Amino acid sequence: MNFSTVNKKTDRGILLPAIAFIILSFVQCTPKHKVVSSFKASTIAGHPDKGLKDYYKNYFPIGVAVSMASLHGPDSALIVKEFNSITPENDMKMGPIHPSENIYNWENADKIVDFAVSHHIKIRGHNLCWHNQEAAWMFKGPNGGAVTKELLLQRLKDHIFAVAGRYRGKIYAWDVVNEAVDDSDDTTQIYRKSNWYNICNGPDFIAAAFRYAHEADPQAKLYYNDYNSEHPVKREKIYKLLKKLIEEHVPIDGVGMQAHWKLNDPSPDELRKALDEVTSLGLKVQFTELDITIRVPQPTPAPGTTPQAATMPPATDAGYTPELEARQIAQYKMAFDIFRQYKKFITGVTFWNVSDRYSWLDGRGGGLMGGAAAGLNTPRVIKKAYPLLFDENRQRKNAYWSVVNF
């Protein structure tokens, strides 16, 4: 047998598909607008069959928030390819799932759970106790009067037993309490003055919710979830809350940092500090709602004026400009570089929505005032946030390549 012929054939057998693959990868990944970063070259190295979850298989699960619309068609194909964890965006929140005392809407939540189970995708439950999208009936007493603390906690317990109990063994982690910490700069004001706090006359409901959740599903990992957890003042308040829970032997496994971020927020230093502080308590961390809006906060209008008078033409929306794209790429790269450095402590990174086709921030003018903190009364002049790794056509953005090439 002529070995040199065999080798040549083998070489060509490998070489031709390899060249075809490189060309195909390049065609698939070439973005429609001008590339502004060095990541164009690295797109060639991307493997078309690999998803985010594969690039991060030695690090942590990569998740995404889903709605019913995500379970069919192109979104569902993208989810199955790229992600190995999902969080229901709205369908397990107290109001939607438990709108009155004896009514539970299981249908959507069940469909999401079935979808995940059938595709071997992990599920994070979101959430068991929050001041928004709440079940308003819980705060009313039986005769239309005020509800007592005892009854409210009993209702919370029943709710948590019903929901966490139903999905026991299927949901691996729960956001047990969401956003219970105050946003002001007043360092003495640790807790948000929510209905929960006011009716319970203090923060007891937080520890109670964790204990109920642990009882309802002893295997589930339990998280406290909040936003702006890297901002120094709020970070310290969250730290105090967590420390107290740990001292009281409350069953808590970790902290969800929502990560509704901006182009310059957080700084790498703030992000590291937040991680160091939480992990020093022995807690794990998940980034639970990651998105990076390209919008920047608008100047506060002068007293007595509106930011955009009705008679003025609407401000021009320059959209996803090359400059904003470059800044977003840099912020995403910074974040994932740090995530990988802290892989020992990080047990998941979840994006809030699938692609720039739809982001919850779009409905908030792109999150002008900064992600979750943007109230519904925030003036909305500009619409889209472009905060994710997939564009409006569900194609990988250059920011995608900045987080998978490492």
> Amino acid letter at 237?
K
Question: Any catalytic annotation for residue 179?
Answer: yes
Nearer to ligand XIL, 289 or 356 (CB): 289
Site string for ligand XIL, 321-360 (x = CB under 6 A): ---------------------------------------x
Residue nearest to ligand XIL (CB): 360
Q: Which of 82, 277, 289, 325 is catalytic?
A: 289
> Nearest approach, Cβ of 57 to ligand XIL (angstroms)?
27
Site for ligand XIL, residues 271 to 290, rule: CB under 6 A: 289
How many CB atoms sit inside 10 A of residue 92's CB? 29
CA distance linking residue 215 with residue 208, whole number of Å = 11
Which residue, among 144, 135, 134, has the nearest Cα to 100 in the 3D structure? 135
Q: How far is the CB of 290 from ligand XIL (least distance, A)?
A: 11
Residue 351's beta-bridge partner residues?
64, 290
372 binds ligand XIL (CB under 6 A): yes
Which of 352, 346, 141 lies closest to 261 in space, CA to CA?
A: 352
Beta carbon nearer to ligand XIL, 89 or 182: 89
User: What span, in angstroms and rounded, lies between the C-alpha atoms of 87 and 124?
Assistant: 5
Q: Which of residues 163-182 bind ligand XIL (CB under 6 A)?
A: 178
For the question of residue 392 being annotated catalytic, the response is no
Cβ proximity to ligand XIL, 217 vs 362, nearer residue: 362
Residues in the interface with ligand XIL (CB under 6 A) total 7
The rounded distance, in Å, linking the Cα atoms of 348 and 359 is 20
Helix (H, G, I), strand (E, B) or coil at 14: helix
C-beta of 69 vs 103, nearer to ligand XIL: 69
Query: Within 10 A of 389 (CB to CB), how many other CB atoms are there?
Result: 26
Q: Is 255 in the site for ligand XIL (CB under 6 A)?
A: no
**312-358-396 Cα angle (round to 5):** 115
CB hemisphere CA count around 57 (13 angstroms): 5
Catalytic residues: 179, 289
> Rule CB under 6 A: which residues touch ligand XIL?
89-90, 178, 258, 289, 360, 372
